[in-house]
Amino acid sequence: MKWKKFLIGSWSWKRPFYMLFLCYVLLTFYGCLMADKIIFQPPGTPYPINRAGFSSIGTGEKAVAIFHLKPGPKMPTILWSHGNAQNLESLKPALESFHIKGFGVISYDYPGYGESGGKPTEKGCYEAIEKTYRYLIENQGVSPEKIILVGQSVGSGPTCWLASQKKHHSVVLISPFLSAYQTVTHIPIFPGDRFPNYRHLKKVNSPLVVIHGEEDRVVPFSNGMKLFELSPSTNKKLISVPKAGHNDIFLKGDFDLGTLFLEMSGK
Protein backbone atom coordinates (compact mmCIF):
# COMPACT_ATOMS: atom_id res chain seq x y z
CA MET A 1 0.00 0.00 0.00
CA LYS A 2 1.16 3.52 -0.78
CA TRP A 3 0.82 4.76 2.81
CA LYS A 4 3.16 2.00 4.02
CA LYS A 5 5.72 2.94 1.39
CA PHE A 6 5.38 6.57 2.43
CA LEU A 7 6.02 5.73 6.10
CA ILE A 8 8.56 2.97 5.69
CA GLY A 9 10.03 3.57 2.25
CA SER A 10 11.40 0.98 -0.14
CA TRP A 11 13.32 -1.89 1.38
CA SER A 12 17.09 -1.74 0.99
CA TRP A 13 19.82 -3.87 2.49
CA LYS A 14 21.54 -0.60 3.41
CA ARG A 15 18.76 0.45 5.76
CA PRO A 16 19.87 -1.62 8.81
CA PHE A 17 23.34 -0.09 8.53
CA TYR A 18 21.88 3.41 8.31
CA MET A 19 19.79 2.71 11.41
CA LEU A 20 22.79 1.35 13.30
CA PHE A 21 24.83 4.38 12.32
CA LEU A 22 22.04 6.71 13.43
CA CYS A 23 21.83 4.91 16.79
CA TYR A 24 25.61 5.19 17.17
CA VAL A 25 25.53 8.93 16.46
CA LEU A 26 22.68 9.48 18.93
CA LEU A 27 24.38 7.42 21.65
CA THR A 28 27.66 9.25 21.07
CA PHE A 29 25.94 12.63 21.28
CA TYR A 30 24.10 11.61 24.45
CA GLY A 31 27.29 10.22 25.99
CA CYS A 32 29.29 13.37 25.30
CA LEU A 33 26.44 15.54 26.59
CA MET A 34 25.78 13.60 29.79
CA ALA A 35 29.21 12.09 30.57
CA ASP A 36 30.20 14.58 33.27
CA LYS A 37 26.82 14.30 35.01
CA ILE A 38 27.10 10.51 35.03
CA ILE A 39 30.76 10.34 36.10
CA PHE A 40 30.68 12.96 38.86
CA GLN A 41 28.34 12.64 41.85
CA PRO A 42 29.31 15.34 44.34
CA PRO A 43 27.77 14.93 47.81
CA GLY A 44 25.34 17.70 48.65
CA THR A 45 26.53 18.14 52.23
CA PRO A 46 28.61 21.34 52.70
CA TYR A 47 31.23 21.73 55.42
CA PRO A 48 32.81 24.70 57.22
CA ILE A 49 36.21 25.53 55.77
CA ASN A 50 37.41 27.90 58.52
CA ARG A 51 38.92 25.09 60.60
CA ALA A 52 42.41 23.80 61.30
CA GLY A 53 43.83 22.11 58.22
CA PHE A 54 41.24 23.49 55.82
CA SER A 55 41.98 26.29 53.38
CA SER A 56 41.42 27.31 49.78
CA ILE A 57 43.68 27.90 46.79
CA GLY A 58 42.24 30.74 44.73
CA THR A 59 38.77 32.26 44.90
CA GLY A 60 35.40 32.11 43.19
CA GLU A 61 34.82 29.60 40.40
CA LYS A 62 38.52 28.71 40.38
CA ALA A 63 38.74 28.07 44.14
CA VAL A 64 40.14 24.67 45.17
CA ALA A 65 39.32 23.62 48.72
CA ILE A 66 42.15 21.67 50.40
CA PHE A 67 42.87 19.90 53.66
CA HIS A 68 46.57 19.90 54.59
CA LEU A 69 48.57 18.69 57.58
CA LYS A 70 52.36 19.05 57.50
CA PRO A 71 54.73 16.04 57.72
CA GLY A 72 57.01 15.07 60.54
CA PRO A 73 60.81 15.35 60.08
CA LYS A 74 62.01 13.68 56.85
CA MET A 75 58.57 12.13 56.23
CA PRO A 76 56.82 12.18 52.83
CA THR A 77 53.51 13.82 52.03
CA ILE A 78 50.51 11.91 50.70
CA LEU A 79 48.55 13.72 47.98
CA TRP A 80 45.18 11.96 48.01
CA SER A 81 42.54 12.21 45.26
CA HIS A 82 39.30 10.92 46.78
CA GLY A 83 36.55 8.77 45.34
CA ASN A 84 33.19 9.80 43.96
CA ALA A 85 30.43 10.94 46.33
CA GLN A 86 33.17 11.94 48.80
CA ASN A 87 34.62 15.25 49.86
CA LEU A 88 37.26 16.54 52.27
CA GLU A 89 34.92 16.22 55.24
CA SER A 90 34.36 12.48 54.75
CA LEU A 91 38.05 11.89 53.98
CA LYS A 92 39.37 13.89 56.94
CA PRO A 93 39.46 11.00 59.52
CA ALA A 94 41.53 8.79 57.18
CA LEU A 95 43.98 11.60 56.44
CA GLU A 96 44.35 12.33 60.15
CA SER A 97 45.16 8.67 60.83
CA PHE A 98 48.09 8.86 58.39
CA HIS A 99 49.23 12.14 59.90
CA ILE A 100 49.43 10.46 63.32
CA LYS A 101 52.02 8.12 61.78
CA GLY A 102 54.11 11.15 60.77
CA PHE A 103 53.03 11.60 57.15
CA GLY A 104 52.14 14.92 55.68
CA VAL A 105 48.70 14.69 54.10
CA ILE A 106 46.90 16.83 51.59
CA SER A 107 43.72 16.36 49.62
CA TYR A 108 41.50 18.61 47.56
CA ASP A 109 37.92 18.73 46.37
CA TYR A 110 37.14 18.51 42.67
CA PRO A 111 35.31 21.46 41.08
CA GLY A 112 31.72 21.47 42.33
CA TYR A 113 32.58 19.24 45.31
CA GLY A 114 32.54 20.57 48.87
CA GLU A 115 33.76 24.16 48.96
CA SER A 116 35.54 24.07 45.58
CA GLY A 117 34.13 26.39 42.92
CA GLY A 118 33.01 25.59 39.40
CA LYS A 119 31.48 22.48 37.88
CA PRO A 120 33.11 19.02 37.80
CA THR A 121 34.86 18.19 34.53
CA GLU A 122 37.88 16.12 33.55
CA LYS A 123 39.89 19.24 32.76
CA GLY A 124 38.80 20.88 36.01
CA CYS A 125 40.02 17.88 38.01
CA TYR A 126 43.42 18.03 36.30
CA GLU A 127 43.68 21.74 37.08
CA ALA A 128 42.68 21.16 40.72
CA ILE A 129 45.28 18.47 41.39
CA GLU A 130 47.99 20.49 39.63
CA LYS A 131 47.19 23.53 41.79
CA THR A 132 47.39 21.34 44.89
CA TYR A 133 50.72 19.87 43.76
CA ARG A 134 52.14 23.33 43.04
CA TYR A 135 50.92 24.55 46.44
CA LEU A 136 52.95 21.80 48.12
CA ILE A 137 56.11 22.61 46.20
CA GLU A 138 55.94 26.40 45.86
CA ASN A 139 54.19 27.37 49.11
CA GLN A 140 55.16 24.57 51.47
CA GLY A 141 58.62 23.73 50.15
CA VAL A 142 57.88 20.02 49.76
CA SER A 143 60.28 18.20 47.43
CA PRO A 144 58.60 16.32 44.53
CA GLU A 145 60.58 13.24 45.59
CA LYS A 146 58.69 13.36 48.90
CA ILE A 147 55.20 13.20 47.38
CA ILE A 148 53.23 9.94 47.27
CA LEU A 149 50.30 10.21 44.85
CA VAL A 150 47.17 8.29 45.87
CA GLY A 151 44.06 8.01 43.71
CA GLN A 152 40.89 6.20 44.75
CA SER A 153 38.24 5.25 42.17
CA VAL A 154 37.48 8.41 40.14
CA GLY A 155 40.51 9.94 41.86
CA SER A 156 42.71 7.57 39.86
CA GLY A 157 41.99 9.82 36.86
CA PRO A 158 43.69 13.02 38.05
CA THR A 159 46.33 10.96 39.88
CA CYS A 160 47.45 9.06 36.75
CA TRP A 161 47.44 12.29 34.76
CA LEU A 162 49.58 14.16 37.30
CA ALA A 163 51.94 11.20 37.63
CA SER A 164 52.53 11.33 33.87
CA GLN A 165 53.27 15.07 34.02
CA LYS A 166 55.15 15.83 37.25
CA LYS A 167 57.95 14.43 39.41
CA HIS A 168 56.90 12.42 42.45
CA HIS A 169 58.00 9.55 44.68
CA SER A 170 55.44 6.83 43.97
CA VAL A 171 51.83 6.09 43.03
CA VAL A 172 49.08 4.13 44.81
CA LEU A 173 45.88 3.40 42.89
CA ILE A 174 42.83 2.11 44.77
CA SER A 175 40.01 0.59 42.68
CA PRO A 176 41.21 2.39 39.52
CA PHE A 177 39.67 2.22 36.06
CA LEU A 178 41.25 1.95 32.61
CA SER A 179 39.14 4.91 31.48
CA ALA A 180 35.68 6.22 32.32
CA TYR A 181 33.98 4.60 29.32
CA GLN A 182 35.84 1.31 29.71
CA THR A 183 34.13 0.68 33.04
CA VAL A 184 30.99 0.21 30.93
CA THR A 185 32.31 -1.32 27.70
CA HIS A 186 35.51 -3.23 26.99
CA ILE A 187 35.47 -2.01 23.38
CA PRO A 188 36.46 1.67 22.97
CA ILE A 189 33.98 2.43 20.17
CA PHE A 190 32.76 5.82 21.42
CA PRO A 191 34.73 9.09 21.18
CA GLY A 192 34.92 11.61 24.00
CA ASP A 193 36.21 9.21 26.65
CA ARG A 194 37.24 10.66 30.02
CA PHE A 195 40.29 9.96 32.19
CA PRO A 196 42.34 7.63 29.91
CA ASN A 197 44.39 6.16 32.76
CA TYR A 198 45.65 3.35 30.53
CA ARG A 199 47.36 5.95 28.35
CA HIS A 200 48.77 8.11 31.15
CA LEU A 201 50.12 5.23 33.24
CA LYS A 202 52.25 4.01 30.33
CA LYS A 203 54.40 7.13 30.89
CA VAL A 204 54.94 6.51 34.62
CA ASN A 205 58.05 4.61 35.74
CA SER A 206 57.89 5.34 39.47
CA PRO A 207 57.06 2.69 42.12
CA LEU A 208 53.42 1.63 41.80
CA VAL A 209 50.89 -0.19 43.99
CA VAL A 210 47.45 -1.14 42.63
CA ILE A 211 44.79 -2.24 45.14
CA HIS A 212 41.51 -3.69 43.84
CA GLY A 213 38.61 -5.76 45.16
CA GLU A 214 38.07 -8.99 43.25
CA GLU A 215 34.27 -8.65 43.53
CA ASP A 216 34.10 -4.99 42.52
CA ARG A 217 30.88 -4.43 40.56
CA VAL A 218 31.39 -0.68 40.02
CA VAL A 219 34.87 -0.84 38.52
CA PRO A 220 35.61 -4.47 37.63
CA PHE A 221 38.81 -6.01 38.97
CA SER A 222 40.05 -6.46 35.40
CA ASN A 223 40.56 -2.68 35.19
CA GLY A 224 43.09 -2.63 38.02
CA MET A 225 44.81 -5.77 36.78
CA LYS A 226 45.22 -4.40 33.24
CA LEU A 227 46.56 -1.09 34.51
CA PHE A 228 49.09 -3.02 36.58
CA GLU A 229 50.14 -4.99 33.51
CA LEU A 230 50.39 -1.85 31.35
CA SER A 231 52.66 -0.06 33.82
CA PRO A 232 56.32 0.07 32.72
CA SER A 233 57.47 0.36 36.35
CA THR A 234 60.03 -2.21 37.46
CA ASN A 235 58.93 -1.72 41.07
CA LYS A 236 55.23 -2.49 41.19
CA LYS A 237 52.82 -4.51 43.29
CA LEU A 238 49.23 -5.69 42.80
CA ILE A 239 47.12 -6.24 45.92
CA SER A 240 43.94 -8.13 45.05
CA VAL A 241 41.35 -8.27 47.83
CA PRO A 242 39.17 -11.42 47.79
CA LYS A 243 35.42 -10.94 48.36
CA ALA A 244 35.81 -7.15 48.41
CA GLY A 245 33.68 -4.85 46.31
CA HIS A 246 34.17 -1.19 45.51
CA ASN A 247 33.36 0.38 48.87
CA ASP A 248 34.47 -2.24 51.41
CA ILE A 249 38.03 -2.80 50.21
CA PHE A 250 39.58 -1.45 53.43
CA LEU A 251 37.26 -3.53 55.62
CA LYS A 252 38.00 -6.82 53.87
CA GLY A 253 41.59 -6.21 52.83
CA ASP A 254 44.42 -7.90 54.73
CA PHE A 255 46.70 -4.88 54.48
CA ASP A 256 47.35 -1.61 56.29
CA LEU A 257 47.72 1.50 54.14
CA GLY A 258 49.82 3.30 56.73
CA THR A 259 52.29 0.42 56.85
CA LEU A 260 52.29 0.27 53.05
CA PHE A 261 53.13 3.97 52.81
CA LEU A 262 55.94 3.53 55.33
CA GLU A 263 57.39 0.65 53.30
CA MET A 264 57.17 2.65 50.08
CA SER A 265 58.96 5.59 51.65
CA GLY A 266 61.70 3.36 53.09
CA LYS A 267 60.77 4.06 56.71
The answer to whether position 25 is within a domain reads no
Whether 34 maps to a domain, the answer reads: no
Over residues 101-121, the mean pLDDT reads 95
Asked if residue 232 belongs to a domain, the reply is yes
Is residue 216 annotated as a catalytic residue, yes or no?
Answer: yes
User: pLDDT grade, residue 40 (50/70/90)?
Assistant: confident
Report yes or no on 19 lying in a domain: no
pLDDT for residue 42: 83
Residue 242 CB partners (closer than 8 Å, separation 6+): 214, 215, 252
Q: Of all helices (H) and strands (E), which one includes residue 2?
A: helix 2-8
Overall number of domains in the chain:
1
- Residue 31 located in a structural domain: no
Residues 71-110 have pLDDT tens digits of 999 999 999 999 988 999 999 999 999 999 999 999 999 9
CA atoms of 241 and 114, how far apart (whole Å): 30
Domain containing residue 257: 40-264
| Per-residue pLDDT tens digits for 137-180 | 999 999 999 999 999 999 999 999 999 999 999 999 999 999 97
Q: Which candidate in 109, 216, 231, 265 is catalytic?
A: 216
Tell whether 35 is covered by a domain: no
Catalytic annotation on 153? yes
Catalytic residue among 153, 156, 170, 231: 153
Q: Is the pLDDT of residue 5 over 70?
A: no
